[in-house]
Each structure stands twice: as C-alpha cells, then as structure tokens.
Amino acid sequence: MKVGLQFFSVRNSLKADPEGTMRKIAAIGYKNWETCSFNPDSPYNYGLDMPLDKAQALIKELGVNIIGCHLLSKDLEPENRAALIENLDYQAGINCWNPGLAALFANSLDEVLTYCGYMNEVGKLCKDRGMRFHYHNHHHEFLQFDGKYILDIIAENTDPELVDIEIDTFWAARGGMDPVALIKKYGSRVTMIHQKDMSADAKVNLLEHLSSRQAPVDREELNKFRKPTDFVEIGTGIMDIQAIIDAANEVGVKYITLEQDMTLLDEIDSVTLSMKNFREKYKNLDWE
C-alpha cells in the first residue's frame, strides 16, 4: 500500500500558490495525489488549477500519480452532467485513477437511493474513461435510515463493478465504528483509505450525544462536539494506524492517503511531519 496526499490538506497553500505548493509536496515525498476543488475562480478548478497540457507536463516532470479527485453531490446531479463530463475528461487526461463523491448529506432514504443511482451512472462514465469511482465517508454515514447505516445502504445499492468505497478511518471512528473492522467488512470493495490522527483530548464518538441514530439529524447537532483541536498529525495522536495499515494491506487497499482536515500548524509543516512519521513509525508501506 502506497502513501498519498489529499489536496484538501494543503488547500489554502494551493489557492495562494498552486504550482509552488505542488512542487513542495512532491519534494516532501508525496507522489500520489488525490485532488480537490480549491479555487472556484479558476476555469480549471479540478484540483490542479491549470490547463490540461500544463498539468500533464507538470505531472510528468514531478513524477507523480493522480490517484483520485473529489466531487460534490451537486456535481453528480443530471442537470450538471455536462460540467461533470468536462471534469471527468480532464481527470482522464491526467490519468486520474479513481474520482469519487466526497460526501452525501441526505434528508431521506429516497434521497440516498436517488444518489446511489447517480453514483452508478457516474461510475459508468468513469469506467468508459478507464477510471474507477468511489464514495468517501464521514461520520454521518453511520446514522441510520430504517435501522440500516447509510454507508451500508450506499454499498448495497451501488454496483461493485462501478462504485468503490474509500474509508476515512478517522471519521469512521467518530461515527462510533472500529476502522479495522470496517475495512475488513467491506474487503475488496475498499480501494483507498483516508488517514489522519486524533487528539487524545478529542471526543471520539460524535454520535454518542444524539438522542437517536436515526437520520436525518440536524448538521449543527451532528457536529456539536467537533473542534479544530481534535485533528493532529500522523503518529501524534491516539489512532492505531499500524493496525489500520495491516488490515488495509490484508484486503488489498492500494493507497493510504493523508487528509489533514484541520491543523494548528502551517499546512506544509503539517504534511511534512505526517510524512516523516509515516516513514519512521509504520511498517508495511510501499515506498517504490
């Protein structure tokens, strides 16, 4: 399993200096990139903020791989399909492996099922371009509709041939789940994981305070105990990252990708420290 970086970790640095930041993260050792939209004022807000030919040249020069990109739920909606196709064509042009849906906040079971249909459609569009497609969890997918976890509903109503799962282990824990057990449960359906670390002072399970785990839940109530200080760099918190690495390797996950949602450090200092600890504290990672 190889180490990657989700661009959300350095989103402010990217917006200020896209190419300079990309050169810095490549020099730190992050050669597998999962992009995100960070500059809404750009006509190329697909994660690299530059025309396709320039992006292709930079990727080749730096020797990096584009392993994924994150889309918003609105991007999947039929009325936005033309813009989505433009995005996916760009992703295919930079050899992106696995675009995905960053999050779905649904108000009903029917809405979840509707978006499952959209995910299957977009999965087919990705497959036609030689790519995969995935869904990425937060903690709210471990709320329930009719007694069933939202993530299970998504998994059961999307085609495994078209839609993968990207397990965010931090957010799974904050949804009251055991990340290792969750990785094993979904097995080969999990193609990537997101990793960060959790402060010893953080409230681990953010769903404990809810009167019910039945969805929908007001987002303000859902995030009531979420704080910037909950997030710390790899190897400096309480998560058993080696157990996660071992479980992910066991089921064939291809990438463990740092996604530092928040940090008290400078963004570049933050991802530098996480890379140092990935290399020094954990085994069974592929650095080739």
16 found inside a domain? yes
286 found inside a domain? no
Number of domains in the chain: 1
Range(s) of the domain holding residue 209: 2-281
180 found inside a domain? yes
Q: What is the pLDDT of residue 211?
A: 86
Name the pTM for this structure. Answer: 0.97
Q: What is the pLDDT of residue 161?
A: 98
Q: What is the pLDDT of residue 123?
A: 98
**Contacts for 158 with CB less than 8 Å, ≥ 6 apart:** 116, 119, 120, 123, 135
Q: What is the pLDDT of residue 142?
A: 98
Q: What is the pLDDT of residue 47?
A: 81
266 found inside a domain? yes
By C-alpha distance, which of 74, 110, 119, 117 is closest to 215? Answer: 110
288 found inside a domain? no
Q: What is the pLDDT of residue 158?
A: 98
56 found inside a domain? yes
CATH of the domain at 141: 3.20.20.150
119 found inside a domain? yes
CB 256 within 8 Å of CB 248: yes
Rg of the chain on CA atoms, in Å: 18
**Residues of the chain under the 50 pLDDT cut:** none
Instruction: Judge residue 38's burial from the number of C-beta atoms within 10 Å of its C-beta, 0-12 exposed, 13-18 middle, 19 or more buried.
Output: buried
Cα–Cα distance for residue pair 119/141, rounded to 1 Å: 16
287 found inside a domain? no
